[in-house]
Structure 1
Amino acid sequence: MSTTTNQPKNAWQIVATREVMVKLKDKSFVASTLISVMVVLGAILIPYFLNSGGKEYTLATTDSRASSFVTVADAASDEDTSFTATEVADSDAARALVKDGDADAYLAATDNGWEIVFNAEPDNTLINAMTTAITSTVTAENAAAQGVDLATLSAGTQVTTSALSGSENVMLAFMVAFAFAMLFYMSTVFFGIAIANSVVEEKQNRIVEIIATAVPLSQVLAGKVVGNLILAILQIAIYAVVALIGLQVTGTAAEFGWILPSAGWFAVFYIAGFTAIATIWAAVGAMAARTEDVANLSNPVNMVLIAALFSGIYASGTVLKAVSFVPVLSSIAMPRRLLTEDVALWEPLVSLGLTLLAAALLTRLGGRIYRSNIMRGGTSVSWKQALKK
């Protein structure tokens, strides 16, 4: 009787703190986090540094006509790319410059137009720039010679694009949605297995029997879920900060401001989705007799997470809209819709409400399975047996 009255009311906080501290001292957890941080930073910085500094092209020419085309190409190029003409006496001298690497190409006149001579592999950027410069210049000269107003001739030919709905950055939005999906999937699997393994290890070592005399099993379970949720949020927050630092370094942070509202919704749906399934991971640990049993018993959970991953990434149209209201699946699907579509405010609110309701029901189910099997020894319990109890 005295044991019950002496049990701390907020014991889950102690359990949660222990879960966090143990994980933070785990070298494999710290190492995997650091590796992920380097991957995130590398994905942002490496393309930036590879593409930074632009490209300076030098073209060998033998007359002022060819040099003028190079000047036109340079004027039309962006600030990271430049074109410079090196005029020499004859074709042999121009080819020698290209051969020796002192020029990127030789712009030579032919009977029918112009030829760009490279030493080895042609450069498409240089080809496109010079083709545009030559075509625009010669076309304007030919039109003037024929007494044709080129501006009048090309009137009404300009083509622009627009979209009735959705993001203006479709490809980028898909890549961000893909990153959200992978974060949710990998994080829930990683921390879910950590919860299950922690439970089964305490069960194998019979430590849980000692803990249960001082702490109610419901609070032990709550502490494990909350502790791992805190770790998951902390890890994702680190990734977000690193990504922001990388964007600041590359000077592109302002260009990604449109992502922030969807990122906020992703954080909310992530917490709701993780909470919905975390207790089931604890139930898997309670059902297992050994850590080796966790893999087989977690198959139903993994199937749900894989369905969430693939439907959230590849579903479209009506199917995507439908799965964005299915708990757990919505943790990936709804943030993607918010990135790529014009979504009414009531939709994420209803979807979130359904996820929270599912979280409450699954927490109750997982808690019942956990309490029924955590003290059970011998062989593992199947899902069919666990659900019957």
Structure 2
Amino acid sequence: MSLSLIIKREFNAKVRNKSFIVMTFLSPLLFTAMALLVGYLASVNGDEVVKIAVHDQAGTLIKDFKNDKETHYTDLSALSLALAKEKAAEGYEGLIYVPAVTDAKDLLHKVEYISNESPSMEFIGNIEDVVNDKLTRFNLEKAGIDYKKIDEAKTYADIRLSKFSGEESLRWLNEIKIGIGFAFGYLIMMFIIIYGNMVMRSVIEEKTNRIIEIIISSVKPFQLMMGKIIGTSMAGLLQFLIWAILGGILLFVAGNVFGLQVGATSAASPEATQAATTGLQAYLPEIFNLPWGTMLLSFLIFFTGGFFLYSSIYASIGAAVDSETDSQQFLLPIILPLMLGVYVGFFTVINDPHGTVATVFSMIPLTSPIVMMMRLPFGVPLWEVALSMAILFATFFGVVWFASKIYRIGILMYGKKPTYKEIFKWLRY
């Protein structure tokens, strides 16, 4: 039995599976429905106004609490504190209590927010800003300083960004680049986890059913392992392609044909939407100037190399255990490098895409598929990309060589939970 026949067998087994077919066509529907639900919930939340009661005994701050689209303040200072609390508990989100004080500085520690629900840090911050601003004005007036003149004297710089070539640069371009890179890296991570597990389950299933004993009589373990990896990756790529096409069509139809609001943007005001559209138009030339050819080609190569590398490990784990339950002890060391790649990429690349940390982790094969994809939108020398790919595939072939040893021995072992010590012994056989 040749490698091509094993690949064909694995591919057909995956794409003809009922659960595979159902999820392939059901997932885009679920994704679209979830996006519509998020849009609906965002629009509902956008219309809600939080009602806050205020009991200001001396009238010190009541005029400083301004109503806006999200929050409406009601003055209950004419009532006693006990009655104000009772009324606030019935029809308001909470009560801001401002006691009468002899020294204005006491307000720094005596203003109280009373509510049965825990408020957001942003809301508490807004109340603190009101108190701080009031006391700042009071202190300046006490010192004989006109606060209005300070307001008039304030200036707000608008730093112009440009390149050495003279072209204008944009403020949020780095955030857009890291967003694009993060999307590529996250797709690779999810694909590895989802379809790597599929490879492992396939090996465990055949081993449990004793089918593997028949197959192994006519094919080498290495060929069988590679066939499973390649066949499963082809099925996964096909599924992702169908998801992308169907998902795009459904979102387009929902938004443009039926006029449904998709995502959280439905809660934005027309002015905010118009401003966002105008801002996006300014960024489009920069987005189009990104190295898309290099990024897409690199995505396919790192996608393939990363999946092959991790799938060989998943396959060896599947061969070493008898059930998915037994495999759990071996999965954490696989997932940790993937998570590390995401966090390192997100928290270091945006600040210093060409720094030592980002560069090193884009070369380490267990993290390079994710970190390098996050660096690429910032412009990476081709020699670094080529070196990272070479290290990745060289490591893949090395790991396959080790994994095939584990696979060769573990695939015919039953009824015993292997330990790390035993697996290391298999590598010497």
- TM bracket (short chain): 0.5 to 0.7
Quote how far apart the aligned CAs of 1:348 are: 0.6
The amino acid that maps onto 1:361 is G
The amino acid that maps onto 1:283 is S
**Contact residue 40 and residue 239 of structure 1 kept, 8 A:** no
Q: TM-score, normalised by structure 2?
A: 0.57
Match of 2:292? 260
Match of 1:327? 365
1:5-154 equivalence runs, <5 A: 8=1, 10=2, 12-38=3-29, 122=69
CA RMSD of aligned residues (A): 3.7
Match of 1:219? 223
Note if 1:175 corresponds to 2:179: yes
1:174-213 equivalence runs, <5 A: 174-213=178-217
- Among candidates 270, 273, 287, match of residue 303 of structure 2: 270
Quote how far apart the aligned CAs of 1:305 are: 2.1
SS in 1 for 2:160: coil
1-structure distance, mates of 2:363, 2:411: 33
Match of 1:105? none
Match of 2:334? 301
**Contact residue 161 and residue 170 of structure 2 kept, 8 A:** no
1-structure distance, mates of 2:171, 2:363: 21
For 1:292-316, what per-residue CA distance to the aligned partner results, in whole angstroms no more than 9, with x for missing partners? 1122222221222222232233333
1-structure distance, mates of 2:193, 2:170: 31
2-structure distance, mates of 1:38, 1:186: 19
* Identity %, equivalent residues: 26
Match of 2:323? 290
1-structure distance, mates of 2:30, 2:291: 20
SS in 1 for 2:307: helix
SS in 2 for 1:214: coil
SS in 2 for 1:30: helix
Match of 1:146? none
Match of 1:162? 161
**Contact residue 273 and residue 328 of structure 1 kept, 8 A:** yes
**Contact residue 45 and residue 246 of structure 1 kept, 8 A:** no
SS in 1 for 2:216: helix
Give 5+ residue unaligned stretches, structure 1: 1-7, 52-119, 124-156
Match of 1:353? 390
SS in 2 for 1:271: helix
Structure 1 residues 234 and 268: CA distance shift in structure 2, 3 A: same
The amino acid that maps onto 1:227 is G
Structure of greater Rg: 1
The amino acid that maps onto 1:19 is E
Note if 1:362 corresponds to 2:399: yes
Note if 1:374 corresponds to 2:411: yes
2-structure distance, mates of 1:174, 1:303: 21
Quote how far apart the aligned CAs of 1:345 are: 1.2
1-structure distance, mates of 2:297, 2:363: 18
**Contact residue 181 and residue 313 of structure 1 kept, 8 A:** no
2-structure distance, mates of 1:167, 1:259: 19
Match of 2:375? 337
**Contact residue 29 and residue 250 of structure 2 kept, 8 A:** no
The amino acid that maps onto 1:275 is F
Quote how far apart the aligned CAs of 1:19 are: 1.9
Quote how far apart the aligned CAs of 1:212 are: 1.2
SS in 1 for 2:12: helix
Moved more, 364-373 or 27-36: 27-36
SS in 2 for 1:213: coil
**Contact residue 311 and residue 329 of structure 1 kept, 8 A:** no
Moved more, 323-332 or 40-49: 40-49
For 1:135-181, what per-residue CA distance to the aligned partner results, in whole angstroms no more than 9, with x for missing partners? xxxxxxxxxxxxxxxxxxxxxx9946325599963333222222222
Structure 1 residues 267 and 44: CA distance shift in structure 2, 3 A: farther
Match of 2:98? none
The amino acid that maps onto 1:219 is Q
Quote how far apart the aligned CAs of 1:200 are: 1.3
The amino acid that maps onto 1:313 is F
The amino acid that maps onto 1:348 is V
2-structure distance, mates of 1:175, 1:185: 15
The amino acid that maps onto 2:161 is S
For 1:207-230, what per-residue CA distance to the aligned partner results, in whole angstroms no more than 9, with x for missing partners? 101111222222211110111111
**Residues matched between the structures, number:** 282
**Contact residue 312 and residue 332 of structure 1 kept, 8 A:** yes
The amino acid that maps onto 2:223 is Q
Structure 1 residues 357 and 247: CA distance shift in structure 2, 3 A: farther
Structure 1 residues 329 and 243: CA distance shift in structure 2, 3 A: farther
2-structure distance, mates of 1:196, 1:356: 21
Structure 1 residues 204 and 158: CA distance shift in structure 2, 3 A: closer
SS in 2 for 1:19: helix
Moved more, 158-167 or 204-213: 158-167
The amino acid that maps onto 1:210 is I
2-structure distance, mates of 1:167, 1:27: 49
Structure 1 residues 23 and 183: CA distance shift in structure 2, 3 A: same
2-structure distance, mates of 1:383, 1:163: 55
